[in-house]
Amino acid sequence: MKMQETSNFCKLSCVHHAGVVQHLQNGQILKENYVKKHKLIPNDWTTKHLYLESTGKSRTLQSGLALLFSLLPGFDWKKINIKHQWSSIFCSGHCECPMRNHYLEDEQRRQYSFRVKNSQLEKTYISMAKVVGVPTRQLRASNPIDSLLCHFCHNVSFPCTKNGCIDIEHFKVIKSHQIEDEKERHEKQLYYKYALLATHPLLNQTVNRMQRIAEGKKDEVFALYSAHDVTLSPILSAIGLTEARFPRFAARLVFELWQNLEKAKEHFVRILYNGEDVTYQTSFCRTRDRRLGQPLCPLGKFVNFVKKEMFSALNSTSYYDACHQRLF
């Protein structure tokens, strides 16, 4: 794949130049902490030190490479081996899950019902459709908030035609609806059930990796999944970060594994979202007293959440059962 675009315009599915800069900055932030401070990745790192996975979209691959370019000492293309993940939820070999699809369909029906009740939103769609010259249903189905955010975040004027202009008021109405929709989504819990099943394969892979390292087995010291907002959003929901808004551009979620040097068998986890420590906002560590001697969350709590609690919330005891249970 050609990684440098010669055109002055971004091609479809490619990361914007500003996005490259954001990921370069993310990589530099991680390098300061994990390379320079904690020496997690050695200067003579090899392919075996890394686990890298990306969906097939050019922008996710390019985003991941931009972050790695800043993060890794002596970045070397020849040592980069990125596994292709066909699924946006990174379910790998565990994607067959009928109940996950059922909950997603229920959530989509909830979204539709909530949207049609918003008369101001519908008027906004009609107005925007007239400007760009397409049927209202086509504009509505295209999820215009994505393209509007691109204009807004990059400080680019909204599009104009001979029929008029898209303006900031259109954007405000749609963004306001998105925020209100997120509130109802949390209240109804349909998305939460979908999120538990959608993210279990990836969270289980993360937990298994941490357990292997805690047991002293050699494993990758750094794992990177370069993904999408539809990958990250259900993870935030599943682990209980109810205050987290829909992921912004270049959002990052980090799971850290810590070891107690005085008691080598004790391991802990810390979770960061966009650089903020959110460990004690997660459902599995929210009740832990931060005033205890160790200000981190025991690895066992994370393991128990992924191996048991995620299923008990669905009245099941395993991922297979939760995916194939019958509705009565």
Count of helices and strands (H, E) across the chain = 12, 9
Mean pLDDT value across residues 246-261: 92
Residue 61 has pLDDT above 80, yes or no: yes
| 5 lies in some domain | no
| 112 lies in some domain | no
pLDDT of amino acid 1: 39
pLDDT of amino acid 9: 55
pLDDT of amino acid 50: 96
pLDDT of amino acid 290: 60
Range of the domain at 225: 19-94+198-324
Residue 63 has pLDDT above 50, yes or no: yes
When mean pLDDT is compared across 71-85, 270-284, 293-307, the lowest value belongs to 293-307
pLDDT of amino acid 248: 87
Residues 206 and 306 both lie in one domain: yes
Is there a contact between 176 and 115 (Cβ–Cβ < 8 Å)? no
Residues 229 and 303 both lie in one domain: yes
Confidence band of 8 (pLDDT split at 50, 70, 90): low
Residues 87 and 144 both lie in one domain: no
| 272 lies in some domain | yes
Residues 63 and 32 both lie in one domain: yes
pLDDT of amino acid 230: 93
pLDDT of amino acid 153: 83
Residue 217 has pLDDT above 70, yes or no: yes
Confidence band of 96 (pLDDT split at 50, 70, 90): very high
Residue 294 has pLDDT above 70, yes or no: no
Residues 23 and 172 both lie in one domain: no
| 108 lies in some domain | no
Say how far apart CA 119 and CA 123 lie, in whole Å: 6
Q: The domain spanning residue 219 has which CATH number?
A: 3.40.50.1240
| 268 lies in some domain | yes
pLDDT of amino acid 181: 94
Candidate ranges 93-107, 241-255, 290-304; pick with highest mean pLDDT: 93-107
Q: Which of 53, 35, 44, 29 is closest to 79 using CA atoms?
A: 44
Residues 263 and 319 both lie in one domain: yes
| 3 lies in some domain | no
Q: What share of the chain has pLDDT > 70, as a percent?
A: 93
- Which of 162, 188, 214 is a domain's end point? 188
Residues 137 and 268 both lie in one domain: no
Residues 134 and 209 both lie in one domain: no
Residue 242 has pLDDT above 50, yes or no: yes
pLDDT of amino acid 6: 47
Using the structure block, give the residue that is written with the tokens 């996710």.
Answer: 60
pLDDT of amino acid 12: 55
Could you give the residue ranges of the DSSP H alpha helices within the chain? 17-30, 58-71, 98-116, 119-132, 136-141, 145-153, 168-188, 190-214, 229-238, 299-304, 310-312, 319-324
Number of domains comprising the chain: 2
Residues 141 and 84 both lie in one domain: no
The 3-state DSSP class for residue 318 equals coil
Residues 74 and 203 both lie in one domain: yes
When mean pLDDT is compared across 19-33, 125-139, 185-199, 282-296, the lowest value belongs to 282-296
Token output for 116: 């049609």
pLDDT of amino acid 53: 97
pLDDT digit string, tens, across residues 131-184:
999 999 999 888 888 888 888 888 889 999 999 999 999 999 999 999 999 999
- Which of 157, 188, 219 is a domain's end point? 188
Residue 7 has pLDDT above 70, yes or no: no
Residue 117 has pLDDT above 90, yes or no: yes
Q: What share of the chain has pLDDT > 90, as a percent?
A: 78
pLDDT of amino acid 291: 54
Residues 238 and 306 both lie in one domain: yes
Q: Which of 39, 5, 32 is closest to 19 using CA atoms?
A: 5
Q: Cβ of 163: how many Cβ atoms within 10 Å?
A: 11
Residues 204 and 179 both lie in one domain: no
| 260 lies in some domain | yes
- Which of 137, 158, 188 is a domain's end point? 188
Residue 20 has pLDDT above 60, yes or no: yes
pLDDT of amino acid 15: 78
Q: Using CA of residue 222, residue 223, residue 225, residue 229, what is the dihedral sign?
A: negative
Residues present in the chain in total: 328
Q: Which of 308, 303, 277, 302 is closest to 290 using CA atoms?
A: 277
| 13 lies in some domain | no
